[in-house]
């Protein structure tokens, strides 16, 4: 089975540009999470969805960040306008709420974003 798919794997953009990161969760998973990893802050949750509905976006740093999940197999994280401090690795993860595995999240390979 395919795991969580993220695209692009690497993104280099100039300050002020719009950036869109994409994620395809594992089929059948009803939770989707967006994380950001930086040296300073580690792995931090930005937002998560349940059945395509945003449940908790308290980790979204500011209004420049937005996330959508139009259907069960696709989600986007958009940064507009981007700033150098947004440079990080962004991970998407998904999980299924069945049984003891409910807490186990499956991560994608990440998108390394560099804003110059």
Binding site for other proteins (CB under 8 A): 4, 31, 33, 42-45, 48, 50, 56, 91, 93, 95, 97, 100, 102-110
For the bound state, the minimum distance from the C-beta of residue 104 to other proteins, rounded and expressed in Å, comes to: 5
Task: Tell me if residue 77 falls in helix, strand or coil.
Answer: strand
For residue 63, what are the CA distances in angstroms to 8, 54, 81? Answer: 22, 15, 10
The nearer residue to other proteins, 81 or 109, going by C-beta atoms, is 109
Where do we find the tokens 């719009």? Answer: 18
For the bound state, the minimum distance from the C-beta of residue 36 to other proteins, rounded and expressed in Å, comes to: 11
d(CA 45, CA 43): 7
The nearer residue to other proteins, 83 or 104, going by C-beta atoms, is 104
d(CA 59, CA 74): 20
For the bound state, the minimum distance from the C-beta of residue 81 to other proteins, rounded and expressed in Å, comes to: 27
């Amino acid at each position: 089975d395919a795991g969580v798919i993220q695209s692009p794997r690497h993104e280099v953009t100039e300050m002020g540009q719009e950036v869109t990161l994409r994620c395809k969760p594992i089929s059948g998973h009803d939770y989707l999470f967006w994380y950001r990893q930086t040296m300073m802050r580690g792995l931090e949750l930005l937002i998560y969805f349940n059945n395509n509905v945003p449940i908790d976006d308290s980790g979204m740093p500011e209004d420049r960040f937005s996330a959508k999940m139009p259907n069960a197999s696709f989600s986007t994280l958009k940064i507009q306008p981007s700033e150098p401090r947004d440079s990080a690795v962004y991970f998407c993860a998904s999980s299924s709420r069945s049984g003891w595995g409910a807490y186990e999240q499956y991560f994608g390979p990440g998108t390394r974003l560099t804003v110059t």
